[in-house]
Chain A
Amino acid sequence: MRYAMAIDTKKCVGCSDCVVACQTENNVPIGYARDWISETVVGIYPDLDLEIRSERCNHCINAPCVRTCPTGASHITEGGIIKVTPFECIGCGACIEACPYDARFFHPKGYVEKCTFCEHRVKNGQSTACASVCPTHCIYFGNIDDPNSEIAKIIAKRKYKVLAQEAGTKPQIFYLI
């Protein structure tokens, strides 16, 4: 089993609902965020292209954050979810430096935080908070190893890309393009 996410850049409007929903769901303190919106505009008026992406931890298969963590606080759990155990984290920052996506940050209490793929919801059979709030239904979440899952189907059907492929992290967030 492997959890993954596909995000349809053709539908995402960059409203940041996924950001607020994550904050209220996961008690992310104000001033911090586990997910964020990036916007890339290319071209010259009026020949323009805009790509909007909702970004977060990619739950990499080859996760450098886990490898560089000296205490094992950063670890891989069931379904390939990358998590941090707060009381094992010494706050050395190695994992933050190791992540090509800048997906991690220090919680004001000192330990490292990041997207958990809403493990606490997923294990109850719910979808992630961000996927279930998105007004454009552009986030697909599920077990990509199951060919009948929505995510496996959409990945099979649509063109997609991953971010910073050169980093060799095998990210598990797929951007449909």
Chain B
Amino acid sequence: MKTTRRDFIKISAMGAGGVMLSASPLLAWVPSFLKLKDDRPDDSKAKKYPNFCEVCFWNCAGWVYMDKDNKIRKIIGNDNDPHCNGRFCPRGTGGVGMYYDEDRLKTPLKRITENAKQKFVKISWDEAINIIANNMKEIKNKHGAESIALFHHGSSGKHFVNLFKAYGSKNIAVPAYAQCKAPREEAFKLTFGHALHSPEPLDIRDTKCLVLIGSHLGENMHNGQVQEMAEAIDKDATIITVDPRFSTVASKSKFWLPIKPATDIALLLSWINVIIENEFYDKEYVEKNTFGFDQLKNHVKNFTPEWAYGITTIKPEIIRRTAKEMANASPAVIVHPGRHVTWYGDDTQRLRAVAILNALLGSWGRRGGFFNPEKAKLPKYPIPAFPKPKWTWKDIVPGSYPLASSGVTNMLIHASQPDFHGKNKIKAWFVVGTNLIATIPDIEKTIKAVQNMEFVVAVDTMPAEITGYADIVLPECTYLERYDNIRSAQHREPNIALRVPATEPRWESKPGWWMCKKISEKLGLEKYFDYKDFSEVIDWQLKKIGSSLEEMKKIGVKKIGRKYDDLFFNDNETHEFNTPTGKIELYSTKLEKLGFDAMPKYKKHPEPEDGYYRLIYGRTPAHTFSRTTNNPNLIDLKKENDLWINPKVAKDWNIKNGQKIWLQNHQGKISEFPIKVRVTERIRWDSVFMAHGFGRTDKRLKRGYGAGISDSEMISDVKIDRETGSTGMRSNFVTFLTELQT
């Protein structure tokens, strides 16, 4: 036998094993108490409860596993859930930290003034509910129910929405609209007659070409999309990433277009130009389904790659080659609509360009493009009709932002300003599950507003910054400790998911539905909350669709077959789109009517002066905004954000990797804390980058306090999108302070 090296090593490994074996009998006398025990329960025997994740709004369904002493041990995705396919993202897996965080809000708190100093004192739930109900009544008497605004985000917000509608106010807004996806939703509605909603109906797993305009999938951990992108990579799909930063996904892309920030519209227009001029578009589809092709063709005539090169710094031949890639893949191509798209104040127009590009490539309604999602319909638990409010957020500045179709947070904040002279004023706030201080740009304006309120309630799980401005703080228990509404979100296959508490709420925290019910009782609105326990509502709904709470507790997720086989267009049929012309509107008749550009135009945005850099921001995979930056499990992975600086810039400034610096923006705002520099080639020299959600300022957050800095703090110059009112946040320029003058 030939003695190869591999054999030789095998023998020596066996030798080592042999020595070990000969030693084992000697060890038999080790007293058993010395043996460190492994007491992990086997998964098949462990107790588990269904839930869906609340660490972000993808709401993946999973199981909460308990350990032997019935404490929460781990959270694992539900195999049957189309949002996650049995796999949570790091934030969802680290959701246990939300429950175990010792800094959580533990009892209701009331602001008092003692020796001219304000502080919070613990109060009982009874007292808290009474104070809230009394204030709500008083404000209603003085200013009308409409003058109380509700800011909310997340599952528990839904209970408060009902409370507010019952009370008579529709001044309700989520940051996920005007700070997130408003321009996208409205632009797609204008073009295709349909908003995208969440999870976005993108057939990424079957696409042949995925074009990402800023969307940083892989850092943005929206689970289903990341999973499908990986599947597409496996199938050798082409990825084209447009990002001023070498994002994670840029590194996995066939083409990375390191665009100059704020110039995407120029790139998109030149792509449209190339696709039309070279007849790369899906002729039959365009002919049959679109409106305004000729106007568009005429409109983009001069937007050549050469023209775009001067604006975007992307070489003409790259623009042509990438356009060709898209055409080759058409219709299995997705020009990703993005999600957080409130960038420069002309965002609806940019997203219109994205929608138009998709229309030309014929990807809407096609395999590998956009599918037609379906949602499970759940019967509404019977409650009386809501009263009609006298005015809503639409009436604050009449005629503004005509395309906004959901509450605009910043509009409500505007109506809360001390110097707001309109007739419809906001006088009190309810803030549920949204950390407005970290979330809404121009912090000073938010603070001025909240301080101008007659009464403020914050409902949160953590002592988030916003709770520091409240008169009453209510501690909500985490999603692992409560019932909530059944999740019914759109997907390829309609499905529902259940949330049940895995354990009792810690300390004195309570579920949102319980708070709403208690408040409603004091306000005489108990008929809107006609149940003892929210599980009754769920059970009622489930029974109506042929399931039950009992069944759902066993399965967690239930798929309900599609009504029609219409996931994709049937090319032999004609489609009616929900637009004024009934077609896909390349030329938007609605925009024209409202006096906006019917087709997108590139407009130049301000650029940083010498010594200033554009501040861009994004996600870091292990955190969700500010909600996880005190989570013990997730802080373990990344405890602070860092500022990405190109080596050339670092050299100019003589700044070292790891050095801590302060930032000052072009309006003179200085960051409260310093941030660590990361010198990296992954960023352009005209921009700096940081992850959102850090630099917590509330000292009650032991781990998050002062760790890194908050991007929001530097975003004081806000460019409002004229169509939707959403807040463009990337027009702020920063310079570096290596020391802080005192």
Contacts and interface: CB of A to CB of B under 8 A. Distances in A.
Interface of A: 10-11, 13-17, 19-21, 23-27, 30-31, 33, 41, 43-46, 48-50, 52, 61-63, 66-67, 72, 75-76, 86-88, 109, 111, 120-121, 124, 126, 132-138, 170
Interface string B11-49: 011001101100110010010001110101011100000
B449 to A, nearest CB: 36
Given A45-B684, A61-B9, A87 B30 contact: yes
A17 to B, nearest CB: 4
B218 interface: yes
Given A16-B90, A135-B221, A24 B621 contact: no
B20 A135 contact: no
B40 to A, nearest CB: 6
B590 interface: no
A22 to B, nearest CB: 10
Contacts of A124: 42-44
Interface string B668-690: 00000000000011111100000
Contact of B76 (A30, A31, A50, A133): A133
A24 B87 contact: no
Closest 8 CB pairs of A and B: A13-B218, A136-B230, A50-B251, A15-B621, A24-B74, A17-B90, A86-B36, A20-B93
B599 interface: no
Given A24-B73, A41-B680, A46-B256, A17 B88 contact: yes
Residue in A11, A14, A15, A50 with the greatest tally of chain B CB atoms within 10 Å: A15
Interface of B: 9-10, 12-13, 16-17, 19-20, 23-24, 27, 30, 34-36, 38, 40, 42-44, 73-77, 86-90, 93-94, 96, 217-219, 221, 223, 226-227, 229-231, 233-234, 246, 248-249, 251-252, 256, 258, 621-622, 632-634, 636-637, 646, 680-685
11 contacts: A15-B226, A15-B622, A20-B94, A33-B636, A45-B684, A87-B34, A126-B43, A133-B77, A135-B87, A137-B234, A170-B9
A116 B42 CA distance: 16
Contacts of B637: 16, 19-20
A52 to B, nearest CB: 7
Nearest to B681: A45
A109 B19 CA distance: 27
Given A52-B248, A61-B9, A45 B20 contact: no
Contacts of A61: 9-10, 13
A133 B77 CA distance: 8
Contacts of A15: 89-90, 218, 221, 226, 621-622
Contact of A27 (B40, B233, B634): B40
A112 B634 CA distance: 24
Nearest to A21: B93
Nearest to B218: A13
Nearest to B10: A61
Given A20-B93, A76-B20, A135-B227, A13 B249 contact: yes
Contact of B227 (A10, A43, A136): A136
A135 B226 contact: yes
Main secondary structure of the interface of B (DSSP, over half): mixed
A145 to B, nearest CB: 12
Given A48-B251, A63-B13, 13 more contacts: A10-B233, A13-B218, A20-B94, A24-B74, A24-B96, A30-B632, A41-B681, A43-B681, A45-B246, A46-B246, A67-B16, A132-B86, A136-B229
Contacts of B94: 20, 24
A72 B23 contact: yes
A24 B230 contact: no
Contacts of B246: 41, 45-46, 48, 50
A86 B37 CA distance: 9
Contacts of B24: 72
Given A20-B622, A48-B682, A61-B10, A72 B20 contact: yes
A19 B9 contact: no
A135 B228 CA distance: 9
A135 B188 CA distance: 28
Contacts of A120: 38, 40, 42
Residue in B227, B234, B637 with the greatest tally of chain A CB atoms within 10 Å: B637
A35 to B, nearest CB: 11
A109 B20 contact: no
Contacts of B646: 45
A109 B40 contact: no
B252 A10 contact: yes
Contacts of B680: 41
Nearest to B74: A24
A81 to B, nearest CB: 12
Contact of B16 (A13, A25, A76, A88): A76
Given A15-B621, A62-B12, A124-B42, A45 B682 contact: yes
A133 B87 contact: yes
